[in-house]
Structure 1
Amino acid sequence: MVGKRRSAPQRGNRQRPSGADGNEPDIYQEMLAEAGMSTPPAVSSPERPLKKRRGVVPAVQRPTEPNEPSKASLATEAPKPELKQQDDSDDEEEDAEFEDVAIPEPTVQTLELESDEEEDEDEDLNFEDVDLLIPLPDGDSEQQEPKELELNLSAQKSAMTSKQGPDRRRPITKEERERRIDIHKAHLICLMSHVAKRNHWCNDAEVQDSLRSRLTDKMIQYLTPGTNLSQFGRTESLKNGLKFVADMWKEQYEITERGMRRSLWAEEVEQLDSYVLPNDMESCLDKSDFREAARTLQGSRDVGAQLYCALLRSAGVRARLVCSLQPLAFGSAGPTLPKTKETAKPKSVSKAEHMLSQVAKYREMAAAVSSTSSAGPSTARRRLGHPNATDYNFEPTAAPTKPRPTFSAPKQIRESTYPIYWVEILDVGHQKWQPTDPVVTHTFWKPKVFEPPITDKENCLSYVIAFNADGTAKDVTRRYAKGYAAKTRKLRIETALDDGQKWWRKVMKMYKPKTTTDLDQIEDIELSGVEAREPMPRNVQDFKGHPVYALERHLRRHEVLIPGAVPSGTVAAGARAPLEKVYRRKDVRIARSAEKWFRLGYEVRPGEIPAKWLPKRVQNKRSRYEEEDQDEGDAGTPIYTVDQAEIYEPPPVRNGRIPKNKFGNIEVYVPSMVPKGGVHIASEYARRAAYALGIDCAPALTGFQFKGRQGTAVLNGVVIAKEFEEAIHATIQGMLDLEQESEDEKRRYVALKLWRRLLMGLRIRERIWSNVGEDERKEADRQAELEAEIGAASDETEEFDMVVDDDDDGGGGFLVE
């Protein structure tokens, strides 16, 4: 209660010392002085100052207990405005107990009672408001001046827009796509050469001798069934032999390294500079390493499949090495290298993270103050927390740690769960190639288990190439892809370029056998059947660019369906979306305008109904409004299919006269547009020859050359009547002969001028040396020879290095006789 006075209990019969003047010393002021705090001015009056109200005072936040008042309640409960006075001779003072609390942030300070026993003792305590100045690490303890706040709406807007969603990858430009396609091609060729080299290593005699000793006679007997068995018996014998060999290979071969993985793009140059090769990458780089792997049976999964192929070949089994090539993707959605910490964008610090960092900062500051003030046995900071805290010496002891068992854990290699290399075995009974993989999937005769999902970041099935023992290869991607036409085909070079399929056939031609066997024809028919039996896609996006099926929404601007096209099925874009009809790609036709058909040599039949109306392309809003005002209700440009057009037949040539258009020329975009009875002569001299002979002709308009948005007509030769063809060719030849003679005459004239200049120079030299003695002339010749050996320029040859001027008839500065 405020104003209540009673004597403090005596603890341990200890008495507080009195001052020299008989007054009790101000212990709190001494504690502040020892702590290095600012001391309030000395009190001149014997009476203590009045107790101040506890308004807004620095405090330490701590969790509120269920039975303890909250901060809000403490703040609202203001002390009663009663005055409390104490005599100077009052020697009774209780010992206040405090709790050592870490100071995370300078907030409101509140007094917390330790127990119920001391509740009455602490009621008579008077404390003054003191600002605790904790020294900062940099030594700056002065109060910082308030900073001016600046409102930046643009920065806030950009920050809000950046948080709306994840960073989307920007689409690549046309130049970047062309560059990626070229890199994709080069990478494909390099990977093909790499696999061809590994396939050649599988035929090494030393490697096969090292592996053949691991096969038992029973295994070899099963792997090479006799011809006396039936078709089914030979197949079953081969399967049993492969099962025995796979079990043996699984037990003896150990994977210790990482094999080939999917290639990734680097978005920034810094990623390539900081890229480090993994420590567990494959170390088999040459044939000696491959032979060592055959002896130790250790290496990557890729080497394991290659050695397995060599093992089967050593037993007489017809096996070929299969590899799923992992080239760099050419599209914008290709996988990229993960961003490092240096190149990653700094994330915005949230308010909670900022508060946690401030708490950690103040804890470090409090620990620094505690370490600096722990020199003496009793410090001001300890007495502020508890007066008897120095009587106890707490020495924390670490708990005994249990010894951990030491064992060698197997090395974990992060790889895809789908293989890059495997082996194909020829089933002689059925004349069919079957896959087998004893390293990763441990399966055989299951071709559909080798395709990884689209979410696999380590493996992508796009090109699967099988290499025979003789070095020839075949593209067998269609055997292992579940959706070749819908998904896998979009990842290949055939869809990236117009001539992509032609380029890929040219590459595979290098590995094509010289003669096509019956087995090759059987395999080609099998792969074509697999592609033909591929079911209809279930995803709407897979219909885009599909070679067999098409949706009306995916038709291009100049593509239409033929009249009466029958849908092959329906598909829905979602659970609540309406069903869309699926059509065959063969029912899609390309439609063009009448002008474009004319440039291709076709003419739209009169009375045909347009298959489609193309809306006009709007360049900007202003032009759109102008078109709406001028041509309101115009449906656009009509386009027609090839079924609605026929081959254009121009008017024939009559009486040697060529039919011309309003510009005085004739359109010859294709050879079929030459009028009947006429001939097209593509020569720059044809028009001059026709004018020279007085023959009627018409310049041939063969196309347009576009620069920007304007087109310029291209005229190439003339069209004349067929009966004048020989005369025109003879005249053109005569013009060419005259032009050649003119060129020869010019060259002859230049040569004569050079000879004339040479003779004039010799005459001038003779006149100069005519009055010179024989000895002086010899000395001059000797000096000239020395200069020639040294490489100095000769005065006698400078005149021949001059540029010949056709109009120069002088004598080099001398008069001509």
Structure 2
Amino acid sequence: MPGRKRSAPIDNPSPRTTRATRSSARRTAAKNDNDVIPDVVKEMVVEVRKAKQAAAENEDTPTEPPRKRKRPGEKPAKPSKENDAGNDGNDEETEFEDVPIPAPTIQTMVRDTDDEEDDDDDDDDIQFEDININGAQANTRYEGPKTLDLDLTAYMTSLAPKKGDRRKALGREEKDRRIETHKVHLLCLLAHVELRNRWCNDPEVQDALRPLLSRKTVGFLRPRASLNQFSRTESLRRGISEAKEVFRTRFEITERGLQRALWAENLDQLKDYKPPPDAETTRNKADFLKAAQTLRGSRDVGAQLFCALLRSVGVEARLVCSLQPLACVAGAPTMPKPSSKTMPKATQPSKAEQYLAAVAKHETKFTPTTPGTIPRSRLGHPDATSYQIPSLLAPSPSTSPPLPTPKTQVKKIKGESPFPICWVEILDHAHQKYHPVDPLVTFSQFNPKVYEPPSSDLLNSLTYAVAFNPDSSCLDVTRRYAKAYNSKTRRWRIDGLVSSRNGLKGERWLRAALRRYQPPSVTDLLQIELNELKAAELKEPMPRNVMDFRDHPVYALERHLRRNEVLVPGAQVSGTVGSAGGRGGLERIYRRRDVKVARTRERWFRLGRVVKGGEVPVKVLPKMKRKKKGRLGDGDDDEEGEQGAGNPVFIESQTEVYVPPPVVGGRVPRNRFGNVDVYVPSMVPRGGVHLPHERARRAAFVLGIDAAPALTGFEFRGRQGTAVLRGVVVAAEYKGAMEAVIQGLEDMEVEEEQERKTRMLLAVWRRMLKGLRIRQRIMDGVDEEAEAEAEARKQEDKGKGKEVDMPDFDDTATPFHDDEDEDSAGRGGFFPSTNLDSDDEGGGGGFMVEEEEEEEGGGFVIE
């Protein structure tokens, strides 16, 4: 390891050092040599001088002076012939080529402090000028080199994420549960907004709000039809502005409105969870009417009352709500963890105490002044100084509540999102267009781009924005307010889930959920609005980062293609995008319409198509590896590969419709398994017909015609597939006969079922009647007095609620029974039995069509 750079001797300074500096350094060194310079420095200087003297004695040629700096335009000097052999083009090596360098003496310097960095090594003589020699101790001792231990393990451990901070991955069951919860929550929120929309149509609510608007404002809100298009729009804009300002100054926000629902990672977060004390208290229609009369409530109720206010004066207004259901995808924000630094409940001041403390802190005391010195005296009115400012304190309960006074600023609840949950859309008849209006949160109108909160807002998320009309019909208007609907908003919705198991189920479910709120008819206004929303979706700009291209409906990246997706040959590039940090280079962007699904030959055959001859596969899928439990990962193919390297796949343009062999002479062509492949209706052979009835094979057997089982698909359980056979394929000329026989077989089965039920009922009745006959024979030999006592005891026990016992018979009374009834009487069978499988005649009883007593064994028989 090389040591520190040696210091140059004082008597041989560097050429770059000036003459004054050298003389000054010599005088300073000579003066303070014995007083200030440490012994270690003196030893170093002596050793350097000795080394230089030894080098001068052994040197054959004098040292060459330093070369001059090359001037501009000067040609380089030719090297001498003596140095051609050892010179390889480096001038510096030529300078020190013949100079023998002695072995340097390595010394170790121990720094007193580590505040300063190492000195500059470019100039060896200047290093003594930066040392504070006067402040150094003369008797400093050298204690030897110190070892510096660097422990990077603890430092890297501190930078590593903690185990508790890592979010656990969701399993399949948890994902399905969240999807179902999301659906139920979404339906509940839709019903909630529908109910509030009906309350906005209530006549009492509208009568309470109508006096807020002046006649002039109402005139602006309902412009005359004789005005031109621009004037009508400006009149509506001015009327909305005045109504918004009046409502903003009159309405007071006192409660907390709806906010985003979050998942809890564990149950500990829900133990001490309580709804906020200032949560909205509007539960029924009476509370809503009270809020309209007092103009107090949450900002959501305020938006709903503003909608009712506009409807009361004839403005066609819609109530818009941004629904906040629980997320249905992984990676959504969760509830914040409870803080351990919260104060104990006993030491926390109450809401009233906090309010009084805040009022006392900001209270201002005015000193009494003379009437001539107050500012109101300069208004010029003689009674200006006698006007008393009304008190801001709450009125006493005995007095009637005054009308709400205008306020200059709307109160906001701490902790609420700065973006609205509910707002209003009004119809501009001049342009046949809806415009949004928010009177309480953003104070905006006719600007739909200010309603979407950022992704960092945990209390509000614009995912579903639905607009309810006065007739309770609604429309999804999310695309009007979302800035990146396709790339960001859509992936948080149920209709944006794209997976191998879900597919388009989410989109179909949302259409079915909104079908209840569809308008009764498609009007011209509705068609114009649908076209506007579609155009807004198409005008959405291209995403700027790679992650937004995943599952994008318009654009696609090659890295995001699924296993069974390929680009069509000759796909045009729409642009490029760079990865995060620019390390991965630029990636090409393609249109989603140029992405096609590729399938194997077997998969295309199940869709009724076959690959054309001579087609080259567009891709070869590698064989999928089995997991420990024997299940496969995500894939589209359920069959084994055709080649050892993988499964070749083809796109739809490389296939054609499958044409099966026709039925000839009543004989149906079969595959090697004796079936007919009928995965789709187009695969039925020409001249044949598919009868998907469960009794079709029996009907063909009865008629004695040729019929082949129809293979309609497979049922897969893991990797194993079971063929599904449904009906048969026969010649078309036998269709009528087959249907007649199938109908006859169904009628026969109905008759057999009815006959079976009849036999069962007759057997039950026979059993009951036979038991009654046996009881009658037993009771014939019982004394009348004993029977009366038994009946009295039975009634007495029945009145007391006791269990009735069988009567005690006289020992002299011998019941008559025959051999047939002995078995039944021995079993105590007084009740009908449902055992219908017994062939014993004594095992049943009931009504008989024709009955006669048998001489042997007794009983009844049915003929």
* Pairwise TM-score range, normalised by the shorter structure: 0.5 to 0.7
Match of 1:480 in 2: 481
Instruction: Give the AA of the match of 2:316.
Output: R
Match of 1:652 in 2: 662
1:176-195 equivalences in 2 (<5 Å): 176-195=174-193
Match of 2:714 in 1: 704
Match of 2:546 in 1: 540
1:425-436 equivalences in 2 (<5 Å): 425-436=426-437
* Shift of residue 297, structure 1, vs aligned partner: 3.2
Residues 257, 413 of structure 1: 8 Å contact kept: no
Instruction: Give yes or no for the alignment of 1:804 onto 2:811.
Output: no
In 1, distance between residues paired with 2:166 and 2:206?
52
Match of 1:347 in 2: none
Name which of structure 1's ranges 573-582 and 805-814 shifts more when overlaid on structure 2. 805-814
Q: Which has the higher contact order (CA 8 A, sep 6+)?
A: 1
In 2, distance between residues paired with 1:288 and 1:729?
64
Residues 613, 636 of structure 1: 8 Å contact kept: yes
Instruction: Give the AA of the match of 2:195.
Output: K
Residues 565, 587 of structure 1: 8 Å contact kept: yes
SS in 1 for 2:193: helix
Name which of structure 1's ranges 518-527 and 288-297 shifts more when overlaid on structure 2. 288-297
1:459-470 equivalences in 2 (<5 Å): 459-470=460-471
**Deviations 1:771-813, CA, capped at 9 Å, x for gaps:** 5556656666777788889774889983333343544425479
Match of 1:25 in 2: none
Name which of structure 1's ranges 279-288 and 320-329 shifts more when overlaid on structure 2. 279-288
Match of 1:530 among 518, 536, 539: 536
* Shift of residue 676, structure 1, vs aligned partner: 1.8
Match of 1:680 in 2: 690
**Deviations 1:232-281, CA, capped at 9 Å, x for gaps:** 11222222233333333443333333222111112222322310121222
Q: 1:314 to 1:692 in 2, by over 3 A?
A: closer
Match of 1:491 in 2: 492
Q: 1:786 to 1:681 in 2, by over 3 A?
A: farther
Match of 2:424 in 1: 423
Name which of structure 1's ranges 706-715 and 547-556 shifts more when overlaid on structure 2. 706-715
* Shift of residue 660, structure 1, vs aligned partner: 2.1
In 2, distance between residues paired with 1:733 and 1:487?
57
In 2, distance between residues paired with 1:217 and 1:411?
30
Match of 2:352 in 1: none
Q: 1:616 to 1:207 in 2, by over 3 A?
A: same
Q: 1:308 to 1:688 in 2, by over 3 A?
A: closer
Q: 1:590 to 1:289 in 2, by over 3 A?
A: same
Match of 2:605 among 598, 616, 622: 598
In 1, distance between residues paired with 2:517 and 2:657?
43
* Shift of residue 452, structure 1, vs aligned partner: 0.8
Q: 1:262 to 1:199 in 2, by over 3 A?
A: same
Residues 320, 466 of structure 1: 8 Å contact kept: yes
* Shift of residue 639, structure 1, vs aligned partner: 0.8
Q: 1:643 to 1:770 in 2, by over 3 A?
A: same
Residues 642, 648 of structure 2: 8 Å contact kept: no
Instruction: Give yes or no for the alignment of 1:323 onto 2:321.
Output: yes
Instruction: Give the AA of the match of 1:280.
Output: D
Name which of structure 1's ranges 703-712 and 741-750 shifts more when overlaid on structure 2. 741-750
Q: 1:305 to 1:756 in 2, by over 3 A?
A: closer
Residues 659, 666 of structure 1: 8 Å contact kept: yes
* Consecutive unaligned residues in structure 2, runs of 5 or more: 1-139, 144-152, 343-357, 365-410, 631-640, 808-824, 845-853, 859-863
Name which of structure 1's ranges 441-450 and 295-304 shifts more when overlaid on structure 2. 295-304
1:13-162 equivalences in 2 (<5 Å): none
* Shift of residue 447, structure 1, vs aligned partner: 0.8
In 1, distance between residues paired with 2:762 and 2:312?
81
SS in 2 for 1:234: helix
* Shift of residue 224, structure 1, vs aligned partner: 2.5
Instruction: Give the AA of the match of 1:663.
Output: F
SS in 1 for 2:831: helix
Residues 307, 317 of structure 2: 8 Å contact kept: yes
**Deviations 1:379-420, CA, capped at 9 Å, x for gaps:** xxxxxxxxxxxxxxxxxxxxxxxx996326988612211111
In 2, distance between residues paired with 1:266 and 1:586?
40
In 2, distance between residues paired with 1:673 and 1:235?
61
SS in 2 for 1:443: coil
TM-score (norm 2): 0.63
Match of 2:306 in 1: 308
Q: 1:712 to 1:775 in 2, by over 3 A?
A: same
Alignment size in residue pairs: 603
Q: 1:435 to 1:786 in 2, by over 3 A?
A: same
Q: 1:172 to 1:157 in 2, by over 3 A?
A: farther
**Deviations 1:575-600, CA, capped at 9 Å, x for gaps:** 34322222221222111100111111
In 2, distance between residues paired with 1:163 and 1:276?
31
Match of 2:240 in 1: 242
Match of 2:361 among 403, 406, 409: 406
Q: 1:735 to 1:230 in 2, by over 3 A?
A: closer
Match of 1:453 in 2: 454
SS in 2 for 1:646: strand
In 1, distance between residues paired with 2:778 and 2:360?
111
What is the Cα-based RMSD across aligned positions, in Å? 3.9
In 2, distance between residues paired with 1:282 and 1:759?
71
* Shift of residue 461, structure 1, vs aligned partner: 0.5
Residues 562, 589 of structure 1: 8 Å contact kept: yes
In 1, distance between residues paired with 2:771 and 2:165?
81
* Shift of residue 637, structure 1, vs aligned partner: 0.8
Residues 486, 553 of structure 2: 8 Å contact kept: yes
In 2, distance between residues paired with 1:408 and 1:713?
85
Residues 253, 413 of structure 2: 8 Å contact kept: no
Q: 1:769 to 1:338 in 2, by over 3 A?
A: closer
Match of 2:671 in 1: 661
In 1, distance between residues paired with 2:805 and 2:175?
57
Q: 1:482 to 1:291 in 2, by over 3 A?
A: same
Residues 768, 832 of structure 2: 8 Å contact kept: no
Q: 1:792 to 1:269 in 2, by over 3 A?
A: farther
User: Percent of pairs identical after alignment?
Assistant: 51
Q: 1:812 to 1:282 in 2, by over 3 A?
A: closer
Q: 1:787 to 1:602 in 2, by over 3 A?
A: farther
